[in-house]
């Protein structure tokens, strides 16, 4: 019997404390050559997709730009379109905010990316409640939590309507009959909701996937329901086996409750991988990398994200501080996703962990922020990845490392072949589109039977 | 003739060509207009012809027989478009020398996204990015976004005070958008990334700057998320036919595309551009002025005229730019004469793709080279340098050093 196939993606190591820019192997985070190397490596490994994160303002701390982590990133759409030119099979997933983009423009850009890439576009839909990011945009302020989700829901609905506004057969291009479009209603749409009241004709033909693949991250119960109802795949941060399995079971049951087949939504946690020739070597390497990821200053900054106050006088090698968090004060660190919903509870848990295991603040932070799920030999890491998928904790992983652009090389060269040998990962791309490769059916739409949609253009 | 006397040669890519019947020609590929291969092939031809840059048309509404009008529901002409910026991004790694200049509207976009996107195009192309700044006055395009209502501008009302006010506002907003982009491109000094192990700092935060722009339509705080692009500023271009857009070009652009109708008109158009520069108090480099021409080329004058007549019989071509149906040799003579009359170069709009683009690359360019009017190889430069423009220093670096 054919074993269930693992989905593998790769995220570009960018703006986060996991990226060790001081590593001698660390290259540019901006130059296209870095993205090209990373993408070619991933495609050499026959991975499913590439994944770019987002940040629409530079982070600051106490009113000054935070200068210790990697700062700056290129525009996501632009990089993905350039990567479309030099790759031919791999999916191109971009994190794009629904709060600071208009649906019409989003629909055009993703349809264009899908057309130019021959059906490889994916959109990781995120929202923002960050008033500071709003300072860079016309909207100016920010949307409250409720409005933010209402805008996200309407954005997705409207974008899908725009993608559906051109039939698969809308472009006739019949020179002899002087007929370019099938009819004069191609692209017509109208939408009226709480957030948008728009109408007209969409400019861009239906793309090879019909609807580019939709990814979401769901954390809160309402976020999980939203993702279960609307997404093709869910990007998760639950990595340890038990928590991954709990998340997987919870979300798949929400997918079923939303009236969908649980297989229609893939769960993909992020996972950093550290390899060694022996288990000990891998552990040593991981310890060294993690030591550099959470240096004393970073430990303080990560604690400040929980406490929401200046902790620069706290000794990172001393105990977790007894100071009270001040979650209601003006934000001390801006431009990063919040770490916790309940600062007091998190601070208490950190203190408890420190007391219980006799750990310093820095050691507690290292414990909490260890994203290297897979530390071992290529053989043992392949075993673990296989086990997670076989035992129903995940459908696959989005893997990353602490250096760009070469951090993926080892994984592709040493782990992927072992997964192929086990028969749980492809040795050649089977499908033409990302949807095909992920095992997702083409989107159904009103008036058209569900079927494999051949591009009008490719 | 020295290199600096060479005329600049750009080509404007749009759909199946600028003639509305172009898509029905034998070599046209109307079924491929929305594929990567089509655009890659066109860019390869343009690069084979050593052209300075290509522009790519765009709009937030479907094409119409009157570009100011709403969608006309015709089915016998090309309708439908890809996002021009993403087409340019696709072409960046597929080409190595040619400038890539997408059309991006300022009316319905976020200046912060546009500035980062163009900076990234410049990074991806190693210094070959430009921007054709465009405004959108169409009411249907405004309804697509639903963020603002525009009354729409009718050709027959262009000179009424109400229309003039709307147009002025759109162009003022465009000037603000370019100003924001330029400030964002300057918001990272060139050497802001320091990777200083000793102090554990990736960037020198004193070399990152808030731009704190505040205007009638948007405020932008900055800094950019994308570090300063290789050219400092990508090449900013504007197509202009009248005083208001001439002033936008004079305030905001590096290159202006103009539409003189004949050689006698060239001097007067250049005079208008220079007057606009004086009126806005332009400092630094004068605008580089390229004349726009729609071209249909054939082996003989008669054949070219016949070709245009045959296409026009199917669907007449109307244009804001002069239409020339002629031979590559005669066109070369004309370009040299107009160049001598003061134009820095030309943006040719091929009537039919790929036919007229092939003729430009393989016949017109050799004719120009024979006349000593065009390069015989690419020089190893950025797009700005090719137009004789220096790399701007970050305005904030200057401010910092004098503080």
Q: Give residue B4's pLDDT.
A: 61
- Cβ-Cβ pairs closer than 8 A, A with B, add up to 234
Tell me the pLDDT tens digit for each residue of B206-222: 999 999 999 999 999 99
- Token pair 């209603």 is found at A185
Q: In sequence order, what DSSP letters do the residues of B29-95 get, joined into one string?
A: -GGGTTSHHHHHHHHHHHHHTT-SEEEE---SS---SSTTSPP---SSS------HHHHHHHHGGG-
* DSSP code at position A181: E
Q: Which CATH class is domain A7-275+377-438?
A: alpha beta
- Whether residue A365 is predicted with pLDDT greater than 60 in this model: the reply is yes
How confident is the model at residue A433, as a pLDDT? Answer: 96
Asked whether the predicted pLDDT for residue A449 surpasses 50, the reply is no
- The reply to whether residue B140 touches residue A200, judged by beta carbons under 8 angstroms, is yes
First to last CA, chain B: 45
CA distance A215 to A265: 9
Pick out the residues of the known binding site of A for FMN.
95, 145, 149, 220
| CA-CA-CA-CA torsion sign (B334, B340, B343, B345) | positive
Contact B80 A203 (CB under 8 A): yes
Q: Is the pLDDT of residue A458 over 70?
A: no
Encoding tokens for residue A23? 């590593």
* Cα(A43)–Cα(A91) distance, integer angstroms: 9
B235: Cβ–Cβ under 8 A, 6 or more apart, which residues?
B53, B99, B101, B129, B130, B131, B254, B255, B383, B384, B387, B389
Find residues 4-23 of chain B whose CB sits inside 8 Å of chain A.
23
Separation CA A111–CA A117 (nearest Å): 10
Q: Identify all chain A residues contacting B146, using CB atoms and an 8 Å cutoff.
A: 196-198
Mean pLDDT of B296-309: 98
pTM comes to 0.96
Is the CB of residue B198 less than 8 Å away from at least one CB of chain A? no
CATH of residue B33's domain is 3.20.20.30
Element (H, E) at B368: helix B365-370
Q: Cα(B31)–Cα(A415) distance, rounded to whole angstroms?
A: 42
Question: pLDDT higher for A447 or B270?
Answer: B270
Angle at B187 between CA B220 and CA A101, to 5 degrees: 40
pLDDT for res A413: 98
Averaged pLDDT, B174-178: 98
Domains of chain B: total: 1
Instruction: Give whole-number Cα distances, B385 to A200, A208, B375, B388, in Å.
Output: 42, 39, 14, 5
Residue B325, domain member (yes or no): yes
Please write the tens of the pLDDT for every residue from A59-73.
999 999 999 999 999
Among the partner-chain residues A74, A136, A200, the one whose CB lies closest to the CB of B123 is A74
Contacts 24+ apart (CB under 8 A), B387-391: B387/B8, B387/B52, B387/B235, B387/B254, B387/B255, B387/B288, B387/B344, B388/B4, B388/B285, B388/B288, B389/B235, B389/B254, B389/B285, B389/B288, B390/B285, B391/B231, B391/B232
Please state, rounded to an integer, the average pLDDT across all residues of chain A: 91
Look up residue A210 and give its DSSP letter: B
Closest B-chain CA to A195: B146
| B373 CA: distance to closest CA in chain A (Å) | 34
Q: Which residue of B has its CA nearest to A83?
A: B90
Tokens in use for B297?
């080329």
Q: Which residues of B touch A32 (CB under 8 A)?
A: 92-93, 123-124, 126
- Binary contact (B75, A180; C-beta < 8 A): yes
Measure the CA–CA gap between B16 and B282, rounded to whole angstroms: 37
| The token pair that represents A46 in the structure block | 């026959």
Q: Which of A117, A175, A184 sits opposite B30 (nearest CB)?
A: A175
- Answer yes or no: do B93 and A85 touch at CB < 8 A: yes
Per the CB < 8 Å rule, is B123 touching A112? no
User: What tens digit of pLDDT does each residue of A109-127 get?
Assistant: 999 999 999 999 999 998 8
Structural tokens at position A12: 């570009």
Residue B94: closest CA among chain A residues belongs to which residue? A85
B-interface mutation test, from A31, A71, A455, most B Cβ less than 10 A away: A71
Q: A115–B35: do the CB atoms touch at under 8 Å?
A: yes
Q: How confident is residue A452, by pLDDT bands cut at 50, 70 and 90?
A: very low
**Residue numbers of B between 233 and 262 with CB closer than 8 Å to A:** none
Cα gap B123→B231, rounded to integer Å: 9
Confidence of residue B403 (pLDDT cuts 50, 70, 90): very low
A448 pLDDT band, cuts 50/70/90, is: low
Rounded CA separation B165/B246 (Å):
16
**Of B36, B78, B90, which has the smallest distance from its Cβ to A180's Cβ?**
B78
Q: Please give, rounded to a whole number of angstroms, the shortest distance from the CA of B58 to a CA of chain A.
A: 10
Q: Which residues of A touch B113 (CB under 8 A)?
A: 75, 100-101
Interface contact A118-B36, CB threshold 8 A: yes
Is residue B181 less than 8 Å (CB to CB) from chain A? no
Nearest to B80 among A179, A184, A204 (CB): A204
Q: ipTM of this predicted complex?
A: 0.97
Which residue segment(s) compose the domain that B122 sits in? 8-135+235-387
**How high is the pLDDT of residue A457?**
34
Residue B153: per-residue pLDDT: 79
pLDDT score recorded for residue A1: 59
| Residue B396 is assigned to a structural domain of this protein | no
With both helix axes pointing from N to C terminus, report the angle between A76-86 and B84-91 in degrees, rounded to the nearest 10.
Answer: 50
CB A235 within 8 A of CB A219: no
Residue B305 lies in a domain: yes
Whether the predicted pLDDT of B230 surpasses 90 = yes
Every domain of chain A and the residues it spans: 7-275+377-438, 280-369
Q: Which residue from A minimizes the CA distance to B146?
A: A198
pLDDT band at B402 (very low <50, low <70, confident <90, very high): very low
Coil/strand/helix, residue B271: helix
Handedness of CA B163, B164, B165, B168 (dihedral sign): positive
> Which residues of B fall in the annotated binding site for FMN?
58, 103, 157
Could you report the per-residue pLDDT of A45-102, keeping only the tens digit for each? Answer: 999 999 999 888 899 999 999 999 999 999 999 999 999 999 999 999 999 998 899 9
CA atoms within 13 A on the CB side of B381: 15
If phi over 0 gives left and psi between -120 and 50 gives alpha, with beta otherwise, what is residue A310?
beta
pLDDT at A158: 96
* CB atoms A65 and B203 under 8 Å: yes
Of B202, B221, B225, the CB nearest to A73: B225
Closest CA–CA distance from residue A134 to any residue of chain B (Å): 9
Note the pLDDT tens digit of each residue in B41-74.
999 999 999 999 999 999 999 999 887 778 889 9
Closest chain B residue by Cα to residue A102: B145
* Chain B: residue whose CA lies nearest to A166: B80
Structural domain contains residue B322: yes
């Amino acid at each position: 019997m054919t074993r269930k196939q693992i989905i593998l993606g790769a995220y570009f190591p960018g703006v986060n404390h996991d990226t060790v820019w001081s590593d001698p192997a660390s290259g540019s985070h901006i130059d296209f050559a870095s993205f090209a190397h990373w993408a070619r490596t991933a495609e050499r490994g026959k991975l499913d997709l590439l994944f770019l994160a987002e940040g629409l303002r530079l982070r600051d701390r106490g009113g000054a730009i935070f200068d210790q982590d990697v700062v700056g990133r290129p525009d996501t759409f632009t990089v993905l379109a350039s990567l479309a030119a030099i790759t031919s099979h791999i999916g191109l997933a971009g994190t794009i905010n629904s709060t600071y983009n208009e649906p019409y423009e989003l629909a055009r850009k993703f349809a264009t990316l899908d057309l130019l890439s021959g059906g490889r576009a994916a959109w990781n839909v995120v929202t923002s409640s960050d008033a500071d990011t709003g300072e860079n945009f016309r909207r100016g302020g920010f949307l409250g939590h409720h409005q933010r989700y209402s805008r996200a829901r309407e954005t997705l609905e409207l974008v899908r309507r725009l993608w559906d506004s051109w039939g698969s057969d809308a472009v006739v291009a019949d020179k002899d009959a002087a007929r370019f479009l099938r009819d004069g209603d191609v692209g017509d749409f109208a939408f009226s909701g709480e957030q948008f009241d728009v109408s007209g004709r969409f400019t861009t033909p239906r793309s090879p996937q019909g609807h580019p693949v939709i990814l979401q991250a769901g954390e809160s119960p309402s976020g999980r329901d939203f993702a279960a109802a609307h997404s093709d795949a869910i990007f998760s941060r639950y990595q340890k086996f038990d928590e991954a399995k709990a998340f997987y079971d919870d979300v798949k049951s929400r997918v079923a409750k939303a009236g969908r087949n649980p297989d229609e939504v893939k769960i993909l946690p992020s996972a950093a991988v550290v390899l060694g020739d022996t288990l000990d070597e891998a552990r040593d390497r991981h310890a060294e990398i993690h030591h550099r990821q959470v240096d004393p200053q970073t430990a303080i900054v990560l604690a400040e994200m929980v406490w929401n106050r200046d902790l620069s006088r706290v000794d990172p090698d001393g105990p977790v501080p007894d100071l009270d968090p001040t979650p209601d004060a003006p934000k001390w660190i801006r431009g990063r996703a919040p770490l916790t919903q309940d600062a007091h509870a998190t601070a208490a848990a950190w203190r408890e962990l420190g007391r219980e295991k006799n750990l310093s603040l820095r050691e507690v932070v290292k414990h909490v922020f260890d994203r290297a799920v897979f530390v071992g030999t290529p053989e043992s890491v392949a075993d673990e990845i296989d086990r997670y998928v076989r035992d129903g904790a995940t459908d696959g992983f989005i893997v990353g490392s602490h250096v760009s652009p070469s951090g993926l090389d080892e994984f592709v060269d040493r782990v992927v072949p072992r997964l192929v040998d086990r028969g749980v990962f492809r040795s050649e791309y089977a499908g033409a589109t990302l949807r095909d490769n992920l095992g997702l059916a083409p989107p159904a739409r009103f008036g058209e039977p569900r079927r494999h949609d051949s591009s009008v253009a490719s | 003739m020295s290199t600096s006397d060479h005329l600049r040669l750009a080509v404007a890519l749009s759909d199946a060509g600028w003639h509305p019947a172009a898509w029905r020609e034998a070599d046209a590929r109307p079924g491929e207009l929305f594929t990567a291969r089509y655009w890659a092939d066109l860019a390869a031809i343009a690069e084979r012809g050593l052209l300075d840059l290509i522009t790519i048309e765009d709009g937030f509404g479907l094409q119409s027989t009157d570009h100011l009008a709403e969608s006309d529901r015709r089915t016998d002409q090309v309708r439908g478009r890809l996002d021009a910026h993403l087409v340019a991004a696709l072409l960046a790694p597929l080409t190595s020398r040619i400038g890539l200049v997408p059309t991006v509207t300022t009316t319905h976009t976020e200046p912060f996204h546009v500035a980062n996107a163009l900076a990234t195009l410049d990074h991806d192309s190693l210094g070959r990015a430009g921007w054709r700044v465009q405004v959108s006055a169409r009411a249907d395009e405004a309804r697509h976004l639903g963020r603002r209502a525009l009354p729409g501008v009718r050709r027959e009302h262009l000179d009424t005070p109400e229309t003039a006010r709307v147009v002025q506002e759109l162009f003022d907003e465009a000037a603000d958008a370019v100003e924001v982009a330029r400030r964002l491109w300057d918001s990272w000094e060139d050497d802001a990334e320091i990777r200083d192990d000793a102090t554990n700092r990736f960037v020198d935060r004193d070399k990152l700057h808030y731009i704190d722009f505040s205007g009638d339509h948007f405020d932008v705080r900055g800094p950019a998320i994308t570090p300063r692009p290789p050219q400092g500023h990508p090449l900013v271009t504007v197509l202009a036919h009248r005083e208001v857009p001439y002033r936008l070009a004079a305030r905001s652009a590096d290159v202006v595309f103009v539409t003189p109708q004949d050689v006698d008109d060239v001097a007067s158009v250049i005079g208008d551009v220079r007057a606009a520069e004086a009126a806005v108090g332009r400092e630094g480099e004068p605008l580089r002025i390229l004349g726009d021409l729609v071209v249909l080329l054939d082996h003989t004058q008669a054949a070219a005229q016949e070709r245009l007549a045959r296409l026009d019989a199917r669907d007449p071509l109307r244009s804001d730019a002069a239409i020339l149906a002629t031979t590559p040799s005669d066109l070369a003579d004309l370009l040299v004469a107009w160049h001598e009359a003061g134009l820095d170069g030309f943006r040719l709009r091929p009537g039919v793709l790929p036919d007229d683009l092939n003729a430009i690359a393989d016949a017109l360019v050799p004719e120009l080279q024979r006349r000593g009017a065009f390069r015989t190889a690419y020089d190893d430069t950025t797009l700005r340098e090719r137009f004789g423009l220096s790399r701007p220093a970050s305005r904030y670096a200057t401010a910092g050093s004098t503080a």
